[in-house]
Structure 1
Amino acid sequence: MASSAQPRRRFAERLWREGAITRPEVAEAFATVPREAFVTEGFHGRDGTWVAPDAEGFLDAVYTNDVLVTKVEDGRATSSSSQPSLMATMIEALGIGPGTRVLEVGAGTGYNAALMSATGARVTTVDVQPDVVERAGAALASVHSTVDLQLGDGYAGWAAGAPYDRVIVTVGVAGASPLWLDQLAPGGFVLAPTRHAGHHPVLRVTRAAGGTVHAAGVCAAGFMSAAGPLSAVYPGAHPLGGDPLPAATVSHPARFDPPLDVFGYHDLWFALGAWDSRTTYAHTPDSAGNGGCALLDELTGGGAAIWPDGAVDGSGPNARAYAERASALVDRWLASGRPAVPAWRAPMTLDGDPASPIWVARDWRLVPGDLQEP
């Protein structure tokens, strides 16, 4: 295989130009750590086809700003190398540097842990899948990484390495394990992609001296979901969604030209989820399986889909009411100044499985821009 030194450097420069990377040490990590070392058996491309390591264009496929799925079970992705721009955003949000003690929940391929370690952080990563740990261990050894890799249940964290200055979660969860917070050093925080209205925006979770726990929005994200107590459904949670809505019978016209980009659309989606507990992910018969934000009518079927161009499609027995409600929520988002994900804060309460509870966010509120985390 040809050397990846030049593709790595070009890729890091591209992420810098696009604004995904703003810190030189993070750019250097991306330019130094070979991503292909962590997908030596190949991966599934976005279109589902298998990309083998001896395939023509393998390195080009590796150094794209895309997720590389490395394990699929029963048609569901269970391990991957995440989208690099999202990795960079989350690593920068951690604010790590030489000596920072980091616990990563969800080792995946090991690439993210290696990137953090390359900044000088002391990284422990844990994964519950033995085969995933075995492959990640081989990859980390091949690049001479000092990451401490452990086999274990992510819900439990890794007490042997505590305390940690940061905990980063690289799998979609329904809430934060109390054990992660217990293993934090004073002033530390958890960064976790947390289920909200059918997707997994990244939240920063902190515990105050008095024991209260709060969440702050960081950025939009998409992650495969965890299993077990970290995926618990609790009272008041948004519908899980995923099923197709009936054909639309009521439509409200588009209002954004050009349509919202992926970030703006997820900002809108987050706000709708904060204001209406019926918000989730759904797709329609004519969307070719490409779904989006929707208000779900769980009682009678149907609801309303809200698209990136602002159009609303209502369906089911209450199509008109749901379409009007969805359009009113879009109006509210516009009137509020199009708040982005980082503009939101919420207290958290314990819920989920009583034997293995999780901290979940409730009662999201907007905060002034000058009070938002950098």
Structure 2
Amino acid sequence: MSELRRGLVEEIHRHGAPLTPELAAAFGAVAREAFVSGGFQRRDGSWARPGSAGFLEAVYRDDVLITKVDGGMPVSSSSQPSLMAIMLAALDVRPGDRVLEIGAGTGYNAALLAVLGTQVTSVDVQADVADRARSALAAAGIDGVRVIAGDGYAGVPGERFDRAIVTVGVAGVSPQWLEQARPGPVVVPVEHAGTHPVLAVRGTAEGPVTATVVCPSGFMSAAGPLTAAHPRSHPAPAPSGTLAAVAEFAPPRWAEPLDSLVYRDLWYAAGVWSERATHAAVRGRDQSCLVLLDETGTGGAAVLPDGSVLAGGARAGEYGERAVEIVDRWEAAGRPPMQAWRIGLRLTGDESAPIWAPATWTLD
């Protein structure tokens, strides 16, 4: 194992991801740089290319690497390794398992699965992305992966798998995945309150279908029927500069602001209790915040990590009250983590290409 790969494994461990010896060995065995041979976009918008200063050090940080941009928007990437580790741990593969992967990305995730001893079929709707993933896997000397350019919603008709993993954000689960991947689970980032928490989904194409939350995440969204609107859809995140001026509606309630993971737990609960929950940039705040967005898309109420509520727009009072009620309710429930929710999914979306989307929630 190279020093850079060893350092990545140590960083993943420090960030709290579950690393079995087998999974740690997989991260140590796969050369991540082979999967970003065309470079990646730095956080400042510039493009890092092989051989440039600091390239390898950046490749082996626990960070997402954007590898394709279209119209200024990221459309393909190598996910953050610690998130990959969490999702792979939830997938719980065994040597010999057949795995369906929706979203090939760079091919790095499929390579890790192959090193874990599985047979992987990866489907990506972008033919050029599939081609590059296929080439990268060959260059890295990885066997046991088949990459197909095709419609992820359809999976691989006529074939059977033991598990399925989805590496793009969706509004719901294709019945085809549940039909093809048995006994499962299907590990998939599903939209909730403007983000994509990762779910472990079990069930059949005909139902019933249930899920538990694995972890928070913020994947790029898919296209087509996988992102169809449905009765429990939340508003899209408000672009920077669209939210009206806000003023304090309720003061801070916690001397120590919630850390990022606990704030995500509150955020998740808000999405359960309000169909208006999403996120938005708030003036004077570095990070996007949990927001109950009004129907105009420009007003509503924001809940900050210290428990304070800011509100603005024509219905500021109403939305401020709603936000305070959500924080009160979360406190009264004992600040449940997102993993405590048990989710029931219902068939919804486009009639010609339906999806199983979260519809009911109960707490353990």
Which residue is equivalent to 1:207? 203
Please tell me whether residue 360 in structure 1 is matched to residue 357 in structure 2.
yes
Could you tell me which amino acid in structure 2 is paired with residue 145 of structure 1?
I
CA contact (8 A) 1:69 1:79 kept: yes
**Percent identity of paired positions between Structure 1 and Structure 2:** 52
Please tell me whether residue 18 in structure 1 is matched to residue 15 in structure 2.
yes
Which residue is equivalent to 1:194? 190
Partner-residue secondary structure (3-state), 1:150: strand
Please tell me whether residue 176 in structure 1 is matched to residue 173 in structure 2.
yes
CA contact (8 A) 1:217 1:341 kept: yes
Could you tell me which amino acid in structure 1 is paired with residue 173 of structure 2?
A
Could you tell me which amino acid in structure 2 is paired with residue 13 of structure 1?
E
How far off its partner does 1:208 sit? 5.8
| 1:341 paired residue among 335, 338, 342 | 338
Give the distance between the partners of 2:39 and 2:319, measured in 1 at CA.
Answer: 45
Which residue is equivalent to 2:303? 306
Please tell me whether residue 320 in structure 1 is matched to residue 317 in structure 2.
yes
CA contact (8 A) 2:340 2:363 kept: yes
Aligned ranges 1:20-169 → 2 under 5 Å: 20-146=17-143, 147-160=145-158, 162-169=159-166
How far off its partner does 1:90 sit? 0.2
How far off its partner does 1:70 sit? 0.4
CA contact (8 A) 2:282 2:289 kept: no
Could you tell me which amino acid in structure 2 is paired with residue 228 of structure 1?
G
CA contact (8 A) 1:301 1:317 kept: no
CA contact (8 A) 2:91 2:187 kept: yes
Could you tell me which amino acid in structure 2 is paired with residue 339 of structure 1?
P
Q: For structure 1, list consecutive stretches of 5 or more residues without a partner in the other structure.
A: 368-374
How far off its partner does 1:261 sit? 2.1
Q: For structure 2, list consecutive stretches of 5 or more residues without a partner in the other structure.
A: none
Question: Aligned-pair RMSD on alpha carbons?
Answer: 1.7
CA contact (8 A) 2:176 2:205 kept: no
How far off its partner does 1:18 sit? 3.2
Return closer, same or farther for 1:329/1:151 CA change in 2, 3 Å cut-off.
Answer: same
Q: TM-score of the superposition, structure 2-length normalised?
A: 0.95
Give the distance between the partners of 1:333 and 1:116, measured in 2 at CA.
Answer: 38
Partner-residue secondary structure (3-state), 2:61: coil
How far off its partner does 1:153 sit? 0.6
How far off its partner does 1:118 sit? 0.9
Q: How many residues align?
A: 361
Partner-residue secondary structure (3-state), 2:184: strand
CA contact (8 A) 2:100 2:181 kept: no
How far off its partner does 1:301 sit? 4.4
Q: TM-score of the superposition, structure 1-length normalised?
A: 0.92
Give the distance between the partners of 1:170 and 1:337, measured in 2 at CA.
Answer: 32
Give the distance between the partners of 1:348 and 1:300, measured in 2 at CA.
Answer: 27
Please tell me whether residue 255 in structure 1 is matched to residue 239 in structure 2.
no
Which residue is equivalent to 2:328? 331
How far off its partner does 1:196 sit? 0.6
CA contact (8 A) 1:250 1:313 kept: yes
CA-to-partner distance for each residue in 1:3-49, whole Å, 9 max, x for gaps? Answer: x8110012112222332133110011111101111001110122322
Give the distance between the partners of 1:302 and 1:141, measured in 2 at CA.
Answer: 51
CA contact (8 A) 2:174 2:355 kept: yes
CA contact (8 A) 1:303 1:318 kept: yes
| 2:279 paired residue among 263, 278, 281 | 281
Which residue is equivalent to 1:240? 236
How far off its partner does 1:299 sit? 5.0
CA contact (8 A) 2:175 2:205 kept: no
